Amino acid sequence: MMSDLHGTEQLIVNELFDHGIFTSTITDHTTQATADAINALKRPATQQRLNAFLSNLVGVGPSNFQENLVFLPGEKWLAPDTVHVLLATLKAIINLASFKIKLATAFNTK
């Protein structure tokens, strides 16, 4: 049986399907809906519903690293250590001040 998802959980699932990653980093450009989803992800019940939903839907849930999710379903799987390193690298890049400045500049020019 499929889990019923709340609005914040639906947003997280949509981000995972659209981009393969959902980050818990909040910036000046983070919408209130995304900030609410980030806060919801901190609750164990939300994580359990997301895992159950995706496991029932596609047979696998997202990998979680410091409240950042990555979802890469497919025939080939990465080893858990590789996923850990990949997520740590992505988080480090996202949190770089120079990246945040470039991201802010990109959003201001559109």
pLDDT score, position 110: 44
Cα–Cα distance measured from residue 95 to residue 27, given in angstroms and rounded to the nearest whole number? 10
**Between 27 and 76, residue with greater pLDDT:** 27
Query: Which of 3-12, 34-43, 63-72, 77-86 has the lowest average pLDDT?
Result: 77-86
Cα 108 off chain centre by: 23
Distances in Å between the Cα of 45 and the Cα atoms of 6, 62, 72, 85, 104 are 11, 15, 22, 26, 33
Cα–Cα distance measured from residue 45 to residue 68, given in angstroms and rounded to the nearest whole number? 16
Quick check: 53 and 106 in contact, CB under 8 A? no
Query: pLDDT tens-digit profile of 13-58?
Result: 999 999 888 988 888 888 999 999 999 999 999 999 999 999 888 8
Q: Does the reported pTM lie above 0.75? A: no
Q: Which amino acid is at 26?
A: I
In the predicted structure, residue 11 carries a pLDDT above the cut 90: yes
The DSSP bridge partners found for residue 69 are 22, 64
Instruction: Give ∠ CA 45-46-50 in degrees, rounded to 5.
Output: 120
Rounded to an integer, the average pLDDT of 68-78 is 77
